[in-house]
A and B are shown apart, each in its own frame.
Chain A
Amino acid sequence: MSSATVGLTAAAATTADKAPGRRTGAEMIWEVLEQEGVDVVFGYPGGAIMPAYDALPKYAVRHVLVRHEQGAAHMADGYARASGRVGVAIATSGPGATNLVTGIATAMLDSIPCVFITGQVSSHLIGTDGFQETDVTGVTLPITKHNWLVTRAADVGPVLREAFVVARTGRPGPVLVDITKDAQQGSCDFDPADRRLARVPHGRPARGTSADAYERAAALIDVAERPLILAGHGIVQAGATAELMAFVERTGAPVASTLLGLGGFPATHPRALGMMGMHGEAWVNRAVQEADLLIALGMRFDDRVTGNLKTYAPRARKIHVDLDSSEIGKNVAVDIAIVDDVKRVLAALTPRCKPADRGPWIARIANEKGDAAVRDIQQLPDTGKLHAAHVIHDLWRLTEGRAVVVTDVGQHQMWEAQYYKHDHARGLVTSGGLGTMGFALPAAIGARFARPHDEVWVIAGDGGFQMTAAELSTCAQEGIKVNIAIINNGYLGMVRQWQEMFYGGRYVATPMRSPDFVKLAEAHGLTGFRVTKRSELAAVVAAARSAPGTVVIDFRVEQEDSVYPMVPSGADLGDMIRRPAPSVLVETAADSDEDEVPR
């Protein structure tokens, strides 16, 4: 049944009457979703949301039945990240809603626009500890941009419309609308042409940008000898890739990216340096520490990006552009703040800057890069064993860098960031801020619906994959194609790496026995492959890509490989643990690495 020809478009069963008239709350949920352009929702039914489900077949919204509500939340999130549109998930009250929580927090930390709809017990039961009653607006208050409890049918339409506006305007984020069962069952007059919101969003003053900020920023950029652009998620979210390119071409400044900023500037461009931070490239972190000007664009100086704040970028003046004024000065004091949409800011800033080349600075970084490349795993001899970095590098080559890659969290995620060269925005979908294991497979299902014509790859570890592996069943039922690369090292690899480096090599609770992933795929009616040598890789990847349905590839990689470079948590950014050079690799691998253990 899992044929690729099974369409991704909604079964257009739009039999509902669209004329003004009486509607139930349940009907208005779907009618408003249609009006908002929602083509797919991810969800799981249950008692308090059953009226809504009962009305669903009349509307042209496709419903994807998940296997756990966490999956629904990640799917909505993955859909939003891959498309830039608002993702929607729906669940019942109580456990249905609390199962969404991890996914909502994931979206919150990465500013992803999602609307979560939950059923709630009938309004007369609220506060009585009724069956499957949970204070969902209370539970999700700190992990949503805003939430609403709707207890009357008449409020369903206006509140849902407001929810979409809040989710996507300003700094985007997840919102939740909790709708009681009686509000779904009740009815009121509804005019589809009346698109009123529950209320007009309150005006927000433009604050935090001084009148001369642009002149001063341009002046700082013009005099800088070693400027460095820090490109964050804001570039992707604002759709500012063209503006960033123009800014780079004019100022000559090189670009370092945050994890979520990858793809916002083409990785293969000569001015692209790669990722910064804890597992950033050595030459990138050194450039940060040596720069005399940081131009931070839509990023928030996360602790994984800065390392020790006291010694962070000690020589650099700082310009910070962000849409959210509460980010200014939160972690790093800056010289100039510009609080606005980064696309608009760059369009206004670029023409004010003088054209420049920055030759000596670029040459200096290139020098560092040459040194680091010697240590790079790609330079290591192919011993016939499989390195995760080789797998990801080869996937990049074979997919010509064009796939939408959805990662889980851990070592493979960092290797992906280092070795899959993203030239396009929204080509990487990954949980950055919350670091949610189990994210990849469901988020990839969401990305699949968002990008029906693009190749979607999951790259996940054996640990994270098993957290939400039940969604394989969703892939099979929906007949969708996702290619899944499990980087299987038999450990919770990133924790194991920390144990090796900082906990005396005591591997507590990190060795992990997994099921036979090939058989697991087959049990779902899907295709499974196993790869143990690099020489087998290309043929298997080709077979996977041409197979009609979802494919699982179990890559059996080196068990105790580590991600390098690594800035230990809280250490100075320039203080990186490096991959041992090839000549000493043999001894170091077997021996303890005392000299590598940081203070």
Chain B
Amino acid sequence: MSPALVPARPRLRTFVATVEDVPGVLNRVASLFRRRGYNITSLTVGQSELSGLSRLTIVVACDDATAARLEANLWKLVDLVEVHELAAGEAVERDLALIKVKADKTTRAQVVQAVELFAGRVVDVAPDELVVEIAATRERVDDLRRVLETFGVVALVRTGAIAMPRAGVDDPTRTQSQSQSQKSASGT
């Protein structure tokens, strides 16, 4: 980060990038983050609605100026079709977690109640422990985890956030990707 810039408080930001589904593309994105020293919170990749294109959700802690340069650097990747930062209030964001928590017959009812409060689900049961799933915002997953820690978390795995603009919100990602893919398909 440039010392010449006015320091701005880093905050978590979510970028959604559409990339070509070609070998090495995740490596290129990850390499960019490593090389430029961006502090990555999560990076997920999976299919998009367009064939041949994958969608990445990238969560990074950074200030405004760093975010602008990160986006500019992503645009330089040849395999990238487009990238947009999602405004905080205008995005639906979900993080999926599986949490294995201690729960014997004396605590099981309390654990299940807590999971239900967070709209999670119990997906596997053994005499002394449960596996719980929750798909929610990052913060809600963190909250449930804190609650379950009072009973004893044995293991935790989470996907990192996936995100998209909310329903009805203008989604530049989508229209541009479609026109891009049409252009690619025409092969001129």
List residues of A whose CB falls within 8 A of some B CB.
Answer: 137-138, 141-142, 145-146, 149, 166, 171, 196, 199-205, 207-208, 309-310, 312, 324-326, 328-333
Q: How many A-B residue pairs have CB under 8 A?
A: 73
Q: Is A325 touching B23 in the complex (CB atoms < 8 A)?
A: no
Q: Is A326 touching B72 in the complex (CB atoms < 8 A)?
A: yes
Q: Is A202 touching B3 in the complex (CB atoms < 8 A)?
A: no
Q: Is B2 touching A332 in the complex (CB atoms < 8 A)?
A: yes
Q: Is B75 touching A204 in the complex (CB atoms < 8 A)?
A: yes
Q: Is A331 touching B31 in the complex (CB atoms < 8 A)?
A: no
Chain A: which residue is nearest B76 at the CB level? A326
B51 at the interface (CB under 8 A from A): no
List residues of B whose CB falls within 8 A of some A CB.
Answer: 2-6, 20, 23-24, 27-28, 31, 35, 65, 68-69, 72-73, 75-82, 176, 180, 183-184, 187-188
**Cross-interface CB contact of B65 among A196, A204, A325, A329, cutoff 8 Å:** A329
Chain A: which residue is nearest B28 at the CB level? A141
Q: Is B5 touching A329 in the complex (CB atoms < 8 A)?
A: yes
Query: Which residues on the B side are within 8 Å of A142 (C-beta)?
Result: 31, 35
**Cross-interface CB contact of B31 among A141, A202, A324, cutoff 8 Å:** A141
Q: Is B180 touching A203 in the complex (CB atoms < 8 A)?
A: yes
Query: Which residues on the A side are within 8 Å of B78 (C-beta)?
Result: 145-146, 166, 201-202
Chain A: which residue is nearest B176 at the CB level? A203
**Cross-interface CB contact of A333 among B2, B24, B28, cutoff 8 Å:** B2
Query: Which residues on the B side are within 8 Å of A324 (C-beta)?
Result: 72, 76
Chain B: which residue is nearest A173 at the CB level? B76
Nearest CB of B to A571, in Å: 15
**Cross-interface CB contact of B68 among A196, A203, A329, cutoff 8 Å:** A329
A200 to B78, CA, bound (A): 10
**Cross-interface CB contact of A312 among B4, B5, B65, B184, cutoff 8 Å:** B4
Nearest CB of B to A335, in Å: 12
Chain B: which residue is nearest A199 at the CB level? B184
Q: Is B4 touching A309 in the complex (CB atoms < 8 A)?
A: yes
Q: Is A309 touching B3 in the complex (CB atoms < 8 A)?
A: yes
Query: Which residues on the A side are within 8 Å of B69 (C-beta)?
Result: 326, 328-330
What's the dominant secondary structure at chain B's contact region? mixed
Q: Is B72 touching A325 in the complex (CB atoms < 8 A)?
A: yes
**Cross-interface CB contact of B184 among A137, A200, A332, cutoff 8 Å:** A200
**Cross-interface CB contact of B2 among A145, A196, A208, A331, cutoff 8 Å:** A331
A346 to B82, CA, bound (A): 29
What's the dominant secondary structure at chain A's contact region? loop
A199 to B188, CA, bound (A): 8
Closest 4 A/B residue pairs (Cβ): A326-B72, A146-B78, A325-B72, A326-B73
Query: Which residues on the A side are within 8 Å of B28 (C-beta)?
Result: 141
Q: Is A207 touching B81 in the complex (CB atoms < 8 A)?
A: no
A331 to B31, CA, bound (A): 21
- Contact of A149 with B188 at beta-carbon distance under 8 Å, contacts A207-B72, A326-B69 already known: no
Chain A: which residue is nearest B81 at the CB level? A202
A324 to B74, CA, bound (A): 12
Q: Is B188 touching A138 in the complex (CB atoms < 8 A)?
A: no
Q: Is A138 touching B27 in the complex (CB atoms < 8 A)?
A: yes
Chain B: which residue is nearest A310 at the CB level? B3
A200 to B28, CA, bound (A): 19
A312 to B3, CA, bound (A): 11
Q: Is A202 touching B65 in the complex (CB atoms < 8 A)?
A: no
Query: Which residues on the B side are within 8 Å of A208 (C-beta)?
Result: 72
Chain A: which residue is nearest B66 at the CB level? A329
A202 to B184, CA, bound (A): 8
Nearest CB of B to A151, in Å: 10
A149 to B24, CA, bound (A): 10
Q: Is B5 touching A207 in the complex (CB atoms < 8 A)?
A: no
Chain A: which residue is nearest B32 at the CB level? A142
Q: Is A331 touching B4 in the complex (CB atoms < 8 A)?
A: yes
Query: Which residues on the B side are within 8 Å of A201 (C-beta)?
Result: 78
Query: Which residues on the B side are within 8 Å of A325 (C-beta)?
Result: 72, 75
Starting from the known contacts A196-B188, A330-B69, A332-B2, 5 additional A-B residue pairs (CB-CB under 8 Å) come to A141-B27, A142-B31, A202-B80, A207-B72, A324-B76
27 A-B pairs within 8 Å (CB atoms) are namely A137-B24, A146-B77, A149-B24, A166-B78, A171-B76, A196-B187, A196-B188, A200-B183, A200-B184, A202-B82, A202-B180, A203-B176, A204-B75, A309-B4, A324-B76, A325-B75, A326-B73, A326-B75, A328-B68, A328-B69, A329-B5, A331-B4, A332-B4, A333-B2, A333-B5, A333-B6, A333-B65
Chain B: which residue is nearest A141 at the CB level? B31
A250 to B180, CA, bound (A): 42
Query: Which residues on the B side are within 8 Å of A203 (C-beta)?
Result: 176, 180
Chain B: which residue is nearest A329 at the CB level? B65
- Contact of A330 with B180 at beta-carbon distance under 8 Å, contacts A141-B31, A207-B75 already known: no
Chain B: which residue is nearest A171 at the CB level? B76
A199 to B78, CA, bound (A): 11
Q: Is A200 touching B76 in the complex (CB atoms < 8 A)?
A: no
Q: Is B2 touching A329 in the complex (CB atoms < 8 A)?
A: yes
Query: Which residues on the A side are within 8 Å of B65 (C-beta)?
Result: 329, 333
Nearest CB of A to B6, in Å: 7
